[in-house]
Amino acid sequence: MADDASIQEHIRHLIDEEHRLRASRESGSIGGDEEQGRLGQIEVELDQCWDLLRQRRAKREFDENPDEAQVRPPGVVEGYQG
C-alpha cells in the first residue's frame, strides 16, 4: 500500500499532466476529444487519490492502521454528494 507522501506525489503528477493537456489543447497540438477523454480519467484518478488520503487520515485519527485503506472504485468516489 502506498503511503501519504507517495499518494500526494501522484496527485501532483496528475495535476501537472492536467495542466499540460490543457496547454496542448490551447496550442492546437491535441484535439478536444483526446483532451476530454484523458481529463476525465485524470479527474476520476484524482478523486480516488483524495478519497484514499481521507480514508488513511480517518483511520489514523481513530487509531486504526492507515495501510488498510483501499482505493475505491470510480463509481463509489464519483457518486459522492457534496
C-beta of residue 64 within 8 angstroms of C-beta of residue 54: no
**DSSP 8-class letter at 29:** S
Q: Tell me how many degrees the CA angle 28-49-4 measures, rounded to the nearest 5.
A: 125
Mean of per-residue pLDDT scores for the chain: 90
- 0.75 surpassed by pTM: yes
pLDDT tens sequence across 16-48: 999 998 888 888 888 778 778 889 999 999 999
CA distance linking residue 59 with residue 78, whole number of Å: 21
